[in-house]
A and B are shown apart, each in its own frame.
Chain A
Amino acid sequence: MAELAESKPDRAAYVLSAVYRAISWQASRHPSKRRTRAREYLQGYTAGKMADLLKDPSKSAVVNIFMPCEIFHALGITPTVPEGLSAYLVCTACEQNFLRRAEENGAADTFCSYHRTLLGAAETGVLKKPMIVANTTLACDANQLTFARLAQIWKVPHVVIDVPYEANEDAVLYVHDQLRQMAMTLQEVSGKTLDGRKLQAAVKRSMQAQDNFREYLKRRPAVHFPESFTPELLSDISQHVYLGTQENVEYTKLLLEDVKKAPKLTTQKKIVWMHTLPNWQDSLMQIFQGEANTRAEIIASDLSYSSFTQMDPEKPFESMARRLVSDSFNGPGSRRIEATLKKAQEMHADGIVIFAQWGCKQTQGISLQAKRVFEENGFPTLILDGDGSDRMNGGAQQIVTRAGAFLEQLEGADA
């Protein structure tokens, strides 16, 4: 696939699209009984969107994960995020070529590998130009660089939503005005008119999805799920760019049904996870996957609960702006630490893993402080340096050893 991406990018895009279409088909039509219905449902939906994007991106937008997407959904524009696409590409083991091409065209090797993978997909021509690219300045510097470069490669309009660091009403108004401006730009580039009622309905669906997800999280610690790694990644996307879609409401409803029917948790340690999950790393997944014979289960990841906000469908732009400004990933690191501490306390977690993703200065930078705070509050914490999108970066064995030792530490606490 790496050679194909280099020599025949159209063919590579076709093959990848077919592979993702097959994954979508299998998850939707023949869901595995070993997995939850919700997981298979959202996997089917997401893989289908990835297949669409690779086949014909002209009706899509490439956005960062924090972009409030109700406007896109109301206009029928499909948003795709680097973390989502990169997670798929790394599972198809074709990310190396993309990473290399991104570096050859300017990306530093210390730059976030999710973003480098996406950039490489664009640089090689495997990912063709979408309708527009749009990013928020939340939560990391990489957005500012990646999306500007993507707009340069594809020569498409580029919208930036500047999110102030301090969460106050001035900041909400500042973001609100930019979102309105973005809505105008999206109407121009799509040639469609934004229907206010559709936008309000989208915000209402966001509220439903968040309410369902909150309820799911309350019940989650008591039960055993057959798998926890990929579902957490899907939930991270669900609680951001999928907010506003009917499919996301369905997903969260299914999650609630699944959690109500799930067997009780037995001996597995309950882990709250910070940042994304390296879903390519089978050896690590086997530790935290949550299968019956494994020792631990991830019960929540902080990207999935960072955006919980009170919204008002009558004020869709203000609601989206408020959600963005009050996201726990915005502002000082203490907000993100407090959000996870609160979640770990509510969910009676046994431990916390901070996945210090290579290139993510936000998460790496906060990791020591977060570990200190969590441990002061009684939560054993592991900082796991790794890479969610570059299998050549870092020793898998070392990561597994660290994760294993951490579990031994948690299990030792019971002895």
Chain B
Amino acid sequence: MTTYFCKYTPVEILKGFGETLRMPNSETADFSETDSVIHSSVCTHAKLLVLDVLSQNRENPKDPPSAIFTNCCDSVRRVNDSLPDSAFSFRRMLDLPHSETEAAVKLYAAQLQKLIQEYQEFSGRTFDTEKFLAAWENAAAQWQNLLHDTNKKIAVLGARVSDELFARIQDQLPLPALDLTCGGIRALPAPPEGIRGESRNEIITAYAKALLTQIPCSRMENVSRREELLHIPGLAGVVYHTVKFCDYYSFEYAWLLKNGGLPMVKIESDYTSQSLGQLSTRIAAFAENLGVSRQADGKTGDEERTAETEKSAVTDAAIRGSGVYVGIDSGSTSTNAAAIDSDGILLASVIIRTGAKAGAAADKALQQLKDKLGPAAQGIRKIVATGYGREFITAADETVTEISCHAKGAHHANPDVRTIIDIGGQDSKVICLDEKGNVSAFVMNDKCAAGTGRFLEMMAHTLELSMDEMSSLGLKWKKDLTITSTCTVFAESEVVSLIAENAETGDIIHALNKSVASRTASMVRRVKGRAPFMMTGGVARNEGVVKELEKTLGARVFVGAYPDLAGAFGAALFAKEKA
């Protein structure tokens, strides 16, 4: 069993030796074991290779793995440098050219010839040309079959995707997913006619050419042929995947956004399972937009109701016996629940801390909501759950992502809104709407807490203030300070330094608000969001952040009376539609 890593690896040559191959591609819980071998800021998939080799050595210390690397990227070069020869029974680093010129083919063919010779010496086996050619023909046929399959499908493009994430993507999508990432299906040209009569040298040269002229990965010199991936028959959309610390694919994503012409969602992973929840939300929202053609519901109602209004509406609902529809938004910081009647009028709402168990918090929120509803609770017809914890809410009849729910809730409250800025506890999102309230594009922050409610909470803790105090004091600033770090950890040490320098609290909070606004505005620009803007999520209650955001965006940002309820309210609207 030989480990390999890159689609330019001559796997068919190894098959010519009767060898089996494997590409490590399973997620890990964490990378702490690699920290003593290689710097933490190299590509996470390359680090996975380190973990894999360490693990194989641990499991079979007397039989270390054999591996074929290519000189495909900086991270892999350094992984190769960092692992000692003793970790392998056989290792070869192939010098992969960046171009596909005749000279490059000649260089790569020489590498392959050398590999055959070295592998023969290592394994004691003979290279079987017929086996090799059959493997080559099989690989080429796989690509040809794909080109003749006109069934609808979704392509996963970009940097390689873990087995677990690919399975999750497939689960969430209504159509089959195709792995066309750099570790997926290879677009290998078939052997030329009459190749069997040629010399070994000519066969290997033809194979080197086939490897170098497959649809390239983004590391190659001429990447224009990657557009061919968008013309695969039946392609209905793209899940674009990037890997943390692999920089090769983000440029292509930006290009596809402008020129791709297909529905697309971008996700980033780091080969750990920690981000699966957030990624699932994005993919599910994408799937919803692929399959559901939303209609504007024409309502001009407003979820902004006072407690008194809610109370009288509940009484009315009880009297009328009309249906009640519930939305529960299970967020990382708070769990929010909203109940509406058949006219979309808010009957009752609850906001509680999520705590350690999302499911338990949702049960509690639902019970409190029912208490508020009183007899009208008997009329609950449907419950829709949203938010990170939506899958753990057993009382829910259905789940919808918070992206669609925020869109639904915001459009219902104000149909003119074209961009929603939702800053929650753990993440921030920018969602663009068309005139019918459909999600036309969205972007979320990465796993980092910078620019989120958690960031402000941590800073409030450092300043020994409540969140309400943060909100009001942030408006009373005199000196325009700047917090330079967007990283929560570094920003905290800057705040500590400012405290030590006797800076006014209001000035520090204003600097933090600017930092959040700047990061959020950057997301708005990335997704090309346009006015009118609406802000949802708990951070919308912070007037200082809203003001800075308005200043940065150069436009008014509309905030409802209950911005934290937008997701739950949208979920309730979905419940009403789906009942």
Chain A positions within 8 Å of B, measured between CB atoms, are: 100, 103-112, 137, 140-142, 144-145, 148-149, 160, 162, 164-166, 170-171, 174, 177, 332-334, 356, 358-362, 364-369, 383, 385, 391-395, 397-398
Contact = CB atoms under 8 A, between A and B. Distances in A.
A142 B247 contact: yes
Contacts of A111: 247, 250
A392 B484 contact: yes
Given A162-B99, A391-B484, A364 B42 contact: yes
Given A112-B247, A362-B78, A393-B487, 15 more contacts: A104-B525, A144-B98, A148-B223, A148-B251, A165-B77, A333-B81, A356-B41, A361-B41, A361-B75, A365-B38, A365-B39, A365-B81, A369-B82, A394-B490, A397-B493
A201 B490 CA distance: 51
B253 interface: yes
Contacts of A104: 522, 525-526
Interface in B499-545: 522, 525-526
Contact of A332 (B41, B81, B110, B242): B81
B248 to A, nearest CB: 7
Q: Which of B36, B42, B71, B74 has the most CB of A within 10 A?
A: B74
B163 interface: no
A149 B251 contact: yes
A367 B93 contact: no
B38 A137 contact: no
A345 to B, nearest CB: 21
Interface string B457-488: 00000000000000000000000000011110
A177 B254 CA distance: 34
Contact of A106 (B38, B39, B79, B251): B251
Contacts of B104: 162, 174
Given A108-B247, A170-B107, A365-B42, A334 B81 contact: yes
Contacts of B37: 368
Nearest to A390: B484
Contact of A145 (B95, B247, B497): B247
B80 interface: yes
16 contacts: A107-B247, A141-B247, A166-B95, A170-B110, A174-B104, A332-B77, A333-B77, A356-B39, A359-B41, A361-B73, A361-B75, A362-B78, A365-B79, A368-B39, A368-B82, A395-B485
A248 to B, nearest CB: 29
A109 B445 CA distance: 12
Nearest to A360: B74
A365 B245 CA distance: 12
A364 B251 contact: no
Contacts of A366: 78, 81
Given A177-B103, A368-B39, A162 B248 contact: no
Q: Which of A141, A149, A366 has the most CB of B within 10 A?
A: A141
Contact of A141 (B73, B82, B95, B255): B73
B131 interface: no
B69 to A, nearest CB: 11
A394 to B, nearest CB: 7
A141 B248 contact: yes
A141 B219 contact: yes
Interface in B209-251: 218-219, 221, 223, 242, 244-245, 247-248, 250-251
Interface of B: 36-39, 41-43, 71, 73-75, 77-82, 93, 95, 97-99, 103-104, 107, 110, 218-219, 221, 223, 242, 244-245, 247-248, 250-255, 446, 484-487, 490, 493-494, 497, 522, 525-526
A5 B487 CA distance: 25
Contacts of B79: 365
A391 to B, nearest CB: 6
A160 B522 contact: no
Contacts of B494: 395
B250 to A, nearest CB: 4
Contact of B255 (A106, A360, A367, A385): A106
A103 B36 contact: no
B201 to A, nearest CB: 15
Contact of A392 (B82, B218, B485, B522): B485
B14 to A, nearest CB: 21
Q: Which of B36, B251, B446 has the most CB of A within 10 A?
A: B251
A244 to B, nearest CB: 25
B99 A160 contact: yes
Contacts of A144: 98, 219, 221
A365 B250 CA distance: 21
A142 B93 CA distance: 21
B454 to A, nearest CB: 19
Contacts of A103: 522, 526
A367 B39 CA distance: 7
Contacts of A369: 81-82
Contacts of B95: 164-166
Contacts of A140: 74
A148 B37 CA distance: 32
Contact of A105 (B219, B254, B493, B497): B254
B97 A162 contact: yes
A360 B39 CA distance: 11
A244 B489 CA distance: 46
A362 B484 contact: no
B81 A162 contact: no
A308 B93 CA distance: 26
B296 to A, nearest CB: 30
A144 B98 CA distance: 9
Contacts of B98: 137, 144, 160, 162
Nearest to A364: B39
A177 B103 CA distance: 9
A108 B74 contact: no
B41 to A, nearest CB: 5
A365 B37 CA distance: 9
